[in-house]
Amino acid sequence: MNSPSSTPPPCFSGVFGVACRDIVPPLQINARNWGAATTDTASSRHRPLTLSVLTMQSEGHSPLVLVTMDLGWWRSHEEEDALSEAIRSAGIEAGNYIVALSHTHAGPIFSPSMAKSHGGEFIAPFLQKLCDLVREAITEALRNAVPGLLETSTGTCVLAENRDFPDPDSTRHLVGWNPAGCPDQTLLLGRVSDANGACLATIVNYACHPTILAWENTALSPDFVGAMREVVQTETKAPCLFLQGASGELAPRLQYVAETAVADRAGRCLGHAALELYNNMLRPGHELRYAGAVESGAPLARWVEHSRGAFPKEIFVHRLPVSLPLKRDLLSLTQLNEQWKSCDDPAHKERLQRKKHVRMSVGEGSTYSVEHLVWKIGDIFFVAIPNEVYSEFQTSLREASGPHPIFVVTLANGGRGYLVPQEKYEDTLYTIEQSPYAKGSFEKCRDTLVQAINRVGE
């Protein structure tokens, strides 16, 4: 009779490289991310802003590259195209890279579309610096890549809460803690180890808006991601990459403050949750096997760590363009420009500015094509979504992936707005007002990706 064993953790055996760079810009750069802000630039730096690169390879397949950056959001095609060109110039094929933003709301603007704003003259040099550092980091990671193993563990963290709050004084919803909400608090941890079992890198995939530091804050900051990274890296002695999940309606309970200590507490909450998973994992490449009964004060079942045999090495890459319908009542760029010029209210002016960027990006047509990526490496999925989406999106993808863990990465390689479930279009939500996409776009993207995952996972 074969000895019982535990279900081995999902993994991928390949060649891995990692490299990191600081990307803190000059304080004079435009960093206005809030309509309620009274300044356009920062006065100090809270924690480093970080660019991290993880390369993953297997025999017979071109390298895959994961790039994470402590930046806010994409405003135009210009910064997307510039960074994509820098990555391709490092020898990486289209479809083989994911550029993921942490979505901090206390970071610099890096879009050339804001060049005429206060501090805008620093944006183009900063974007060029980003391109140079991305190319440099990819080259370094590939040069120093070593055989290793990626394994995952899934748990939860209590940081994220629902942020669609019904305004008690009106029929609209506000963007803030909803005590009656039911948040998805799933946390997925990836651990990359070398052939000797040493940790090369960790990946933290969690869905939560980094909106703790708001309009009264004047420090450049990665928000809670910075302290999370410090906690994890102190324990593992290896770089930590953060992947923003489907956080459309998720954010910390306490947010919109100026005190960086609040962001640090939140980051430590997430960091310690990640370390709980990390420290509960078996040694790299091991599983538990039953080693027989031991008679003691009770009859004991003894399980021991045992080295696994073969590890999955296959890589599959799928590029999935999806044509999304745009809202019929979207204002034209001319109309938005006229409203913006005549507007004196800073908050409303900021909303109009965002709508202008969206309209410039999607064009004046009735549809807009968005490319999604599905990677399957060994037993593990990575899905890149170039928009902000509600958490129902990632729960649906997890259900489709079954026993295969799935890193859901939003704001990846671009993004024009929110994807919101169609039943919420009955509510007055900022996420719907901001989005250029018509009702049903969320479901179209979700169903396309579910079908792709089901095909690849068979």
Mean pLDDT of the chain: 94
Range with the poorest average pLDDT among 82-96, 199-213, 264-278, 348-362? 348-362
**Residue 265 pLDDT level (bands cut at 50, 70, 90):** very high
pLDDT value of residue 360: 78
pLDDT value of residue 333: 82
**Residue 458 pLDDT level (bands cut at 50, 70, 90):** low
pLDDT value of residue 316: 95
Q: What is the dihedral of CA 284, 285, 291, 294, to 10 degrees?
A: 10
Q: What percent of the chain has pLDDT over 90?
A: 86
**Residue 5 pLDDT level (bands cut at 50, 70, 90):** low
Mean pLDDT of 193-211: 98
- Give the residue, 21 or 365, on which the prediction is more confident: 21
SS3 state of residue 54: strand
Structure confidence by residue, pLDDT tens digits, 78-93: 999 999 999 999 999 9
Structure confidence by residue, pLDDT tens digits, 376-401: 999 999 999 999 999 999 999 999 99
End-to-end CA gap in the chain: 30
pLDDT value of residue 426: 86
Mean pLDDT of 29-38: 94
- Give the residue, 362 or 142, on which the prediction is more confident: 142
Structure confidence by residue, pLDDT tens digits, 144-171: 999 999 999 999 999 999 999 999 999 9
pLDDT value of residue 9: 81
Range with the poorest average pLDDT among 148-162, 174-188, 234-248, 361-375? 361-375
Q: Evaluate whether 99 touches 412 at the Cβ level (below 8 Å).
A: yes
What single-letter DSSP state applies at residue 357? H
CA separation for the pair 163, 176 (Å, rounded): 4
Given a cut of 80, whether residue 57 has pLDDT beyond it is yes
Q: What is the dihedral of CA 200, 277, 8, 290, to 10 degrees?
A: 120
pLDDT value of residue 164: 97
**pTM for the full predicted model:** 0.95
Pairing label, strands 199-206, 186-194: antiparallel
Containing H/E element for 13?
Answer: strand 11-22
Q: What is the dihedral of CA 36, 80, 368, 437, to 10 degrees?
A: -30
Given a cut of 90, whether residue 361 has pLDDT beyond it is no
Q: Evaluate whether 155 touches 273 at the Cβ level (below 8 Å).
A: yes
Helices (H), 281-429: 333-342, 346-362, 392-401
Mean pLDDT of 20-41: 95
Other C-beta atoms within 10 Å of 293: how many?
10
Structure confidence by residue, pLDDT tens digits, 317-347: 999 999 999 988 887 888 888 888 888 888 7
pLDDT value of residue 211: 98
Structure confidence by residue, pLDDT tens digits, 408-452: 999 999 988 999 999 998 889 999 988 999 999 999 999 999 999
Q: What share of the chain is helix, strand, coil (3-state, %, to 5)?
A: 30, 30, 40
pLDDT value of residue 3: 62
CA separation for the pair 250, 175 (Å, rounded): 10
Pairing label, strands 199-206, 240-244: parallel
Q: Evaluate whether 104 touches 222 at the Cβ level (below 8 Å).
A: yes
pLDDT value of residue 344: 84
pLDDT value of residue 285: 95
pLDDT value of residue 353: 80
Q: What percent of the chain has pLDDT over 70?
A: 98
Containing H/E element for 40?
Answer: none
